Structure formats: structure tokens, C-alpha cells
């Protein structure tokens, strides 16, 4: 692999005959956005590609993708075509046409595209709340366009030569230029898990997910993840209604930690059984050494992308995020050295902060890794009296027509708003509010926990006093008028 720099941008290349395949990568994705700006990286990339396309209409356009951690522009062609495209893209990022923001967003469909399986996104949201890697799993009813200043500020911070890497496969491109905007290397703080010990919780997902944090370079954790996936798949296949094979996914947490996820599909009728099976298998692996033959079967690197592409990906991620990397030979040797005890010990440590995520409505009774009842991390509290405060109930006429089990009311305290229903309540502290949407007289409070609290003054007696109190309690910089910032409607 050849390494060089062009205009301050690191370039990694494997020399091969044939056309040139280039990927310009930026270390920015959904985890670097906020609730208010979710989807902004995709919009920046789309605007840049739109501008480059008009400058070079006769050449093949790049494939643009935005994930949780990276935004990529991939282009394939002759050395001259690829060089021209890369230069045009870089120039476009220096001068984004913000006057075309609404038009380009309209072509994208208005809503933010998800880069993760919804089950994985929901599990990350359950673990970290609506911030960083958990943000994409927040349930949203509408996507809000950023302002021009927001878009330019995001591009200036993240789409710079200090946060870019170019990977190439093919001949060396002649005369390559990468005139990206200057800027410093962005700094990000990894999110902290909302709960420091093993737990279970709800999310609006169609399935069951187990998530753990593990060292990013741990061969033992990698083998353990594969063994658990095979065991869960085998156990679920023996149920009365066989489930689809379990799936594995990972998400970068920081430069030394990765989140490992195990996903299983489940219907409303069998979700409880799937959750119990997955958790039981995870506890078993943490408590008992697997058979050496089982370990040996999972020590081989998985089939997937060619070695050269994996090497380029690893080099780029190391440059962008500071993650450790091993060459293919070192990785194989590390896997070959993994023992049964290594697997058990690694998974045992991971299970100390494991989280099981299940669909809404389930109530689980499972044992945790310490033998005690597995703690419930749901935002809702059951069978306890709500906090004391000012109570806003439904109008008497509406209460007379509403069944007792379906009634709802709100309690307002000095530091929180509490949404209540018979037998349960959800407390949202004002210092945990990350956004306040105003839809005319209605209010929608967005919690860092991943939940929304919607308030329509027509629902409650004294509802206008309630909305005024919410407006006063939430900092003005977190509030915005949703109706004014909605994406343009399709003709």
C-alpha cells in the first residue's frame, strides 16, 4: 500500500491495472449532528455533488453515502475523470450553494435517510440517548431543514482537509488536486452510556437487540460475538415458530471501544421468548468456557471484502478516528491465539454493562450477570405515585367520554414535566430537554433519553398556562418553530 499526501490530505493507494476507483472520506456522520440538524451531513454531501455534477455534466458522477461515522464520495473512471471529479467536489465544498438547499433537500425526499438497521439504531439510542451514535435512533415525526448558517457551519467544521482521507485502487492519478477548505481536526467526546450496569429497556423496534461495549482490537471479543450469534441462531431455530438468523453489527464508540450488537427479528407474540433466549445464551457464554472446537471454528477471519479493501478501510479509519489497526497477518495471528478462557473472560467483562432492548409493551423478569433481577432502564415508571406539582387534567367533558384506562394528564414541577397515564408516568427534566418544537399552539419536548413529550393545550384544562410554562422553562436557544422549517412539499 502506497501512502502520500495531496494538498494536506492523506492518500492511501493500492496499485492495480484497470480503471481507478477513488473514495474521498470525511470523518463525519449522523453521530456528529444534533436533533435539530439530523441529516445535515447528507445535505452537505448532496449539495457538493450537485454542484460538481453541473460543472462536469459529461462524466460519471460519484456515489455519495453518509453513515453513522463517515461521509463518502466514491467515483470510478479513468485517471483524468477521477482527478477532475475529486477537484470539482473539493471546490464545491469550499463554496456550497446554500440558495439551492431547499431544492436539493426536496430531491432527497425531505426526510433524513437512516444509515443503520432500525433495530441497531434503536439499541444505540437506548444505550446513549439522543446524542452522538444514539441520535439516529430517536423517533422523529418530521425532518427539519437546517438554516444556511447551520449548514455552512457544519461544513466548515467537518468537511475540511484535516478531517479527510482519500483511498485509491488502481493507477496513480496524474495531476491530482484536493483543494479542500482548511481547518483543524475536529474533536468529539464519546457519549456515556445512560446506565452504568446491565439492564433491559424498551424501544419502538421490530425485534430484540443485545448491545455491549468491548475493546476495539480484542480478538477474544470478536470470537465471542461470533459464537453468541451462532448459538442464538441455533436456539431460535428450534422454537415453535423459527426466527430468522441472528445478525451482528458494530458501531464505533471511540478510538479504543466498539459497540457490538446482536439483532434478532421478533413479532409481538414471540418477542418475549426471543429476548429470554438471547439473554440466556449471553449469560451462558459469560459464565462458561466454550468448547475449544467451537472456538477454533470461529477463529478464522470472516469472509467479506477483499483484503485490499479491508486494509484501505482500516488505514482510513485509523487516520480519521485514531483507531488501532493490525495488518492482515497480525490479525490472523491474534485470532489464532484466542483460547476458550479468553472468550469467556472477555464476554464476562462485556456483560457487566450489557443492555437488552425489546419492543414496547413487554415486561421482562430476567436475572442479571450478578444473579439479581435484571434492572429495568425504561424511562417510564410503573405503579408509583408521580411527583408532586401542578396538575393539568383533561376537560371534564372529555373525561366523561374517556375510559379510565385511557386517561392522561400532566404534572408540572419546578424542574420537570411529567406525562402520566393510569399506573405509569414519564418524568422529563428540563435540563434533559435537547429541543422544543413549536407547532402553532402545540409543543413537543425532545428528551435526551430518546423520548418525546407532546402537549396540545386543547387536551388539558389550563392548557395555555401549561404551554407558557414550558416555553419559559426551556432555554430559548433550544426552541424553534417546526412549521416554518419543514421541508418543501412535493408538487
Q: What is the pLDDT along the chain (491 residues), one digit of tens a residue?
A: 899 999 999 999 999 888 999 999 999 999 999 998 988 999 999 999 999 988 887 776 789 999 999 999 999 999 999 999 999 999 999 999 999 888 888 777 644 455 689 999 999 999 999 999 999 888 776 667 889 999 999 999 999 999 999 999 999 887 899 999 998 888 888 899 999 899 999 999 999 999 999 999 899 999 999 999 999 999 998 776 566 789 999 999 999 999 999 999 998 889 999 999 999 999 999 999 999 999 999 998 766 667 787 889 999 999 999 998 878 788 889 999 999 999 999 999 999 999 999 998 888 999 999 999 999 999 888 888 999 999 999 998 887 777 877 889 999 999 999 999 999 999 999 999 999 999 999 999 999 998 899 999 999 999 999 999 999 999 999 999 875 444 444 44
* Beta bridge mates, 75: 22
- Name every residue whose Cβ is closer than 8 Å to that of residue 238 and which is 6 or more positions away in sequence: none
CB-CB contact of 442 with 455 (8 Å) = yes
Distance between CA atoms of residues 331 and 200, nearest Å: 33
Distance between CA atoms of residues 25 and 313, nearest Å: 10
Closest CA to 199 of 189, 214, 209: 209
Report in angstroms the alpha-carbon separations of 388 from 198, 287, 396, 417: 30, 44, 21, 11
- What is residue 78's DSSP assignment? -
Cα angle value 454/459/462 (rounded, 5°): 105
CATH for 199-299+338-375 is 3.30.830.10
CB-CB contact of 108 with 145 (8 Å) = no
Closest CA to 258 of 161, 437, 390, 127: 127
The three-state secondary structure class of 184 is coil
pLDDT at 488: 44
Distance between CA atoms of residues 382 and 385, nearest Å: 9
Distance between CA atoms of residues 451 and 400, nearest Å: 29
Domain 2-118+125-169: give its CATH superfamily.
Metalloenzyme, LuxS/M16 peptidase-like (3.30.830.10)
Backbone angles phi, psi at 97, to 5 degrees: -80, 80
User: What residue segments make up the domains of the chain, in order of their start?
Assistant: 2-118+125-169, 199-299+338-375, 381-485
pLDDT at 413: 96
User: CA 78, 79, 80, 86 torsion: positive or negative?
Assistant: positive
Distance between CA atoms of residues 278 and 358, nearest Å: 11
Asked if 2-118+125-169 and 199-299+338-375 have one fold, the answer is yes
Domain 381-485 in CATH 1.10.4160? The answer is: no
pTM beyond 0.85, yes or no = yes
Amino acid at each position: 500500500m502506497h501512502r502520500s499526501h495531496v494538498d494536506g490530505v492523506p492518500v492511501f493507494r493500492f496499485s492495480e491495472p484497470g480503471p481507478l476507483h477513488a473514495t474521498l472520506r470525511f470523518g463525519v456522520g449522523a453521530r456528529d449532528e444534533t436533533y435539530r440538524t439530523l441529516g445535515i451531513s447528507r445535505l452537505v454531501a448532496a449539495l457538493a455533488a450537485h454542484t460538481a455534477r453541473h460543472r462536469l455534466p459529461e462524466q460519471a458522477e460519484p456515489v455519495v453515502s453518509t453513515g453513522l461515522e463517515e461521509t463518502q464520495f466514491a467515483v470510478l473512471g479513468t485517471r483524468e475523470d477521477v482527478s477532475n471529479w475529486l477537484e470539482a467536489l473539493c471546490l464545491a465544498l469550499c463554496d456550497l450553494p446554500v440558495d439551492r438547499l431547499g431544492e436539493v433537500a426536496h430531491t432527497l425526499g425531505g426526510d433524513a435517510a437512516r444509515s443503520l438497521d432500525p433495530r441497531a439504531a434503536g439499541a444505540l439510542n437506548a444505550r446513549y440517548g439522543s446524542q452522538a451514535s444514539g441520535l439516529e435512533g430517536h423517533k422523529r415525526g418530521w425532518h427539519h431543514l437546517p438554516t444556511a448558517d447551520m449548514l455552512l457551519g457544519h461544513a466548515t467544521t467537518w468537511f475540511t482537509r484535516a478531517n479527510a482521507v482519500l483511498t485509491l485502487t488502481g493507477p496513480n492519478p496524474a495531476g491530482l488536486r484536493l483543494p479542500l477548505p482548511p481547518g483543524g481536526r475536529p474533536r468529539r467526546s464519546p457519549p456515556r452510556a445512560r446506565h452504568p450496569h446491565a439492564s433491559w429497556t424498551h424501544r419502538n423496534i421490530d425485534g430484540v437487540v443485545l448491545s455491549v461495549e468491548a475493546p476495539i482490537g480484542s480478538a477474544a471479543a470478536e470470537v465471542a460475538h461470533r459464537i453468541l450469534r451462532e448459538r442464538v441462531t441455533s436456539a431460535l431455530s428450534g422454537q415453535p415458530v423459527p426466527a430468522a438468523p441472528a445478525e451482528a453489527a458494530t458501531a464505533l464508540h471511540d478510538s479504543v471501544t466498539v459497540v457490538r450488537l446482536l439483532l434478532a427479528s421478533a413479532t409481538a407474540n414471540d418477542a418475549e421468548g426471543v429476548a429470554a433466549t438471547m439473554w440466556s445464551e449471553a449469560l451462558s457464554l459469560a459464565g462458561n468456557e466454550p468448547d475449544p472446537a467451537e472456538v477454533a471454528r470461529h477463529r478464522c477471519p470472516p469472509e467479506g471484502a477483499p483484503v485490499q479493501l479491508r486494509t484501505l478501510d482500516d488505514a482510513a479509519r485509523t487516520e480519521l478516528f485514531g483507531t488501532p489497526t493490525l495488518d492482515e497477518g497480525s490479525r490472523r495471528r491474534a485470532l489464532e491465539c484466542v483460547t476458550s478462557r479468553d472468550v469467556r473472560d472477555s464476554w464476562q467483562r462485556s456483560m457487566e454493562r450489557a443492555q437488552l432492548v425489546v419492543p414496547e409493551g413487554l415486561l421482562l423478569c430476567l436475572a442479571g450477570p450478578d444473579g439479581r433481577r435484571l434492572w429495568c432502564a425504561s424511562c417510564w415508571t410503573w405503579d408509583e405515585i408521580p411527583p408532586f406539582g401542578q396538575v393539568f387534567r383533561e376537560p371534564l367533558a372529555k373525561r366523561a367520554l374517556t375510559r379510565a384506562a385511557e386517561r392522561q394528564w400532566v404534572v408540572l414541577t419546578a424542574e420537570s414535566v411529567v406525562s402520566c397515564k393510569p399506573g405509569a408516568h414519564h418524568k422529563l427534566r428540563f435540563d434533559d430537554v435537547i429541543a422544543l418544537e413549536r407547532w402553532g399552539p402545540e409543543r413537543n419536548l425532545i428528551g435526551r433519553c430518546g423520548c418525546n413529550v407532546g402537549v396540545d393545550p386543547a387536551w388539558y384544562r389550563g392548557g395555555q398556562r401549561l404551554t407558557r410554562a414550558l416555553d419559559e422553562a426551556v432555554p430559548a436557544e433550544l426552541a424553534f418553530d417546526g412549521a416554518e422549517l419543514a421541508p418543501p412539499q412535493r408538487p
